[in-house]
Amino acid sequence: MKKKILILGGGYSKERSISLKSSKAIIKSINKLYKVKFCDPCIDFLKTVKSFKPDVIFNALHGRFGEDGYIQTILETLGIKYTHSGVISSMLAMDKEISKKIFIKNKILTPKYMKIKNDLKHINFKRIESYLNYPLVIKPINEGSSLDVYICKNKSSLSYNLKRMKSYNDILIEKFIPGREIQVAIMGNKILGAIELRPKREFYDYKAKYNSNAKTKHLIPVNISKKNHKKVNEIALKAHKLLKCRGITRSDFRFYENKFYLLEINTQPGMTDLSLVPEVAAYRGIDFRSLIIWMIEDASKKR
């Protein structure tokens, strides 16, 4: 009898469209191997779960409510096995300030930062500028896919971009680190591998990630020394274990002046045709279908 797999996709976050693409690719790859059903949690979520009675839920949601511990809490309450990290790990990874504190405490290099309330009437620009020199990066505390991330080169661009982010209460401001963009995938508690990105845009933002016309170069293997390759892989694995992550994670780094700066760890990387983890897996001889099967079987072992 085939296992019943419920694919969660869509959702409430700004990454809804990416989640739907991930879901579509996942379903296409496994629909002959399992009894598969798609569910958008915006529509009759509990009713679908209770009627379908899945063996495993493949959580293909991205962003808030999908990878921040929210949906994981519901699934834990329902007693259903699901892919990716658990409640606490998801919450810690999604909160960029908390995860940075964990990195710093455990001697993992990350860009210098501060958190502010996004209230333009009361923002102390002098305090920001005295602590962090331009250029700066501003981003929401808890969004993914580089959504609403801006590089600010002076006070006017900082003020302008903060206005664009008025829907967010908490903003993370960090020192912009130039250099190379390198990302590392972890599979279980093992290193899957690294990939370097060379976007045509100023950095690997949302458009560079998901617009096929953005012409970002993906380079595997990464052209760095064996020593540095080992180092960045080990930092990613350390971060994965520190947050007690499960399944697949992807850690994003900047490599500058022979140092790796960990920007963040993603507990639910994209699974679209432009996504990085499937590309790294393919380089290691693991095709997309095998990767998805591994994730389902890994989830089946939990509890």
* Residues tagged active-site: 15, 145, 210, 250, 252, 264, 266, 270
Identify the H or E element spanning 218: strand 217-219
- CA separation for the pair 286, 280 (Å, rounded): 9
Residue count (the chain): 303
End-to-end CA distance of the chain: 22
- Coil/strand/helix, residue 158: helix
Per-residue burial over 266-303, b if 16 or more Cβ lie within 10 Å, else e, is bbbbbbbebbbbbbbbebeebebeebbbbbbebbeeee
The residue among 196, 195, 158, 192 whose CA lies nearest residue 179 is 196
Copy the structure tokens of residue 125: 């620009």
Q: How is residue 97 written in tokens?
A: 């300030």
* Distance between CA atoms of residues 66 and 69, nearest Å: 7
Whole-angstrom Cα distance, residue 180 to residue 257? Answer: 10
Of 183, 143, 149, whose CA–CA distance to 275 is shortest? Answer: 183
Do residues 271 and 277 touch, judged by C-beta distance below 8 A? yes
Find the helix or strand (DSSP H, E) in which 46 lies: helix 45-52
